[in-house]
Amino acid sequence: MAYIEKSFNIPSNTGLSEKQIQLHLGLYAGYVKNTNLLLDKINTLKSGDDAIVISELQRRLGFEFDGMRLHEYYFSQLAEGAQAMDMGSKLGQLIITQFGSFDIYIADLKRIASTRGIGWVITYYDAKNNSLINAWVADHELGHLAGLPIVFVIDLWEHAFMVDYVPATKADYVSTYLSAINWSVVETRI
């Protein structure tokens, strides 16, 4: 079964240029394509005995698949335009309980986003503790919190902002992205 590239209704007023969004969507399309290619190749080689090739393909699959899936979270958060968080939703209530306010939650995301290097800021939901955990994930596949569903992501690879921002202004990109979020999409992930 092949993965299908998703489409996203991203309005032009996100604060990110149309060129930036289109280039980024093109990169996402590559992750979908490469995920499918790797899965096909791995399935073809399973009957063979080239363990080194298969193990390298398996390693690469984690990178490509997670790149595909994280970008689906990222772009769906922009779909249909910015919408404020419903602070009465389960997510809104968790944020208030855990962080004290939505502004403090956003400040924590921005603090983590200031980490040097490429990666993702991800909010996870830990159902066992009914809590949120904000974390830095390097690359796409390194550092995920085991077993926790993803609630929110920010892409901090340069490809996400380099058309509109330079690395020295990454904080401006983060603020722009956060101001364009459709939080009603994010709320459905809890």
Give tens-digit pLDDT for 18-48. Answer: 999 999 999 999 999 999 999 999 988 876 6
Task: Write down the pLDDT at residue 27.
Answer: 97
Q: Which two tokens stand for residue 147?
A: 């077993």
Measured at the CA of 134, the angle between CA 166 and CA 190, to 5 degrees, comes to 115
Strand-pairing partners, residue 54, are: none
Task: Write down the pLDDT at residue 158.
Answer: 95
CA distance 145 to 26: 28
Q: Which two tokens stand for residue 113?
A: 């986003």
CATH architecture of 90-187: 3-Layer(bab) Sandwich (3.55)
Q: Which two tokens stand for residue 68?
A: 């595909």
Mean pLDDT, residues 156-185 taken together? 96
Q: Which two tokens stand for residue 121?
A: 């800021």
- Domain ranges in the chain are 18-76, 90-187
Q: What is the pTM of this model?
A: 0.95
By residue count, the chain amounts to: 190
Tell me if domain 18-76 and domain 90-187 are identical in fold.
no
Question: What are the b/e assignments for 114-136, b being 16+ CB within 10 Å?
Answer: eeeeebbbbbbbeeeeeebebee
pLDDT digits (tens, 9 = 90+) for 169-178: 999 999 999 9
What are the strands of the beta sheet with 131-138, ordered from one edge?
Answer: 131-138, 119-126, 150-155
Mean pLDDT, residues 98-111 taken together? 98
Residue among 156, 162, 152 at smallest CA distance from 182: 152
Q: Which fold has domain 18-76?
A: Helix Hairpins (1.10.287)
Predicted confidence (pLDDT) at residue 68 exceeds the cutoff of 70:
yes
